[in-house]
């Protein structure tokens, strides 16, 4: 239930709130090695400097608010703007 509330809040913020921080195109595009405009878990794991790959995977799953297994630019930017833990992954 709590997870649903958090995901709902993130989705609402993605739709309505002005972003306080956006990723530079270089960060997203650097991680997006196959240049399909979305980030797979493998791409994120390869790009992440975080020592705990399990933590990266859990964060990826939280960031993937649509649940499609990929991060689009909006999902990526929202989380990078919201919390420092996500920003520290890269
Ligand atoms: Ca990609």
pLDDT digits (tens, 9 = 90+) for 28-37: 999 999 999 9
CB 83 within 8 A of CB 24: no
Residue 44 has which token pair? 């994120």
Domain residue limits at 47: 2-87
Arithmetic mean of pLDDT, 62-87: 86
Say which DSSP state 44 is in. H
What stretches of 17-67 show up as alpha helix (H) in DSSP?
25-31, 41-47, 53-63
- CATH code assigned at 45: 1.10.238.10
Arithmetic mean of pLDDT, 17-31: 67
Q: Answer yes or no: is pLDDT of 5 > 70.
A: no
Say which DSSP state 17 is in. S
CA of 50 to the centre of ligand 1 (A): 19
Q: Which residue has the higher pLDDT, 3 or 78?
A: 78
Q: Residue 89 has what pLDDT? A: 74
Q: Answer yes or no: is pLDDT of 20 > 50.
A: no
Residue 84 has which token pair? 């420092």
Domain count, the chain: 1
CA of 47 to the centre of ligand 1 (A): 12
CA of 85 to the centre of ligand 1 (A): 22
pTM: 0.67
CA of 32 to the centre of ligand 1 (A): 4
CB 39 within 8 A of CB 70: yes
């Amino acid at each position: 239930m709590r997870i649903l509330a958090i995901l709902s809040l993130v989705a609402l913020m993605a739709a309505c709130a002005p972003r306080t921080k956006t990723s530079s195109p270089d960060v997203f595009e650097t991680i997006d090695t196959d240049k399909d405009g979305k980030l797979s878990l493998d791409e994120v794991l390869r790009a992440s400097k975080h020592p705990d790959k399990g933590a990266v995977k859990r964060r990826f799953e939280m960031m993937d608010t649509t649940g499609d297994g990929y991060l689009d630019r909006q999902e990526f930017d929202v989380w990078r703007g919201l919390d420092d833990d996500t920003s520290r992954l890269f």
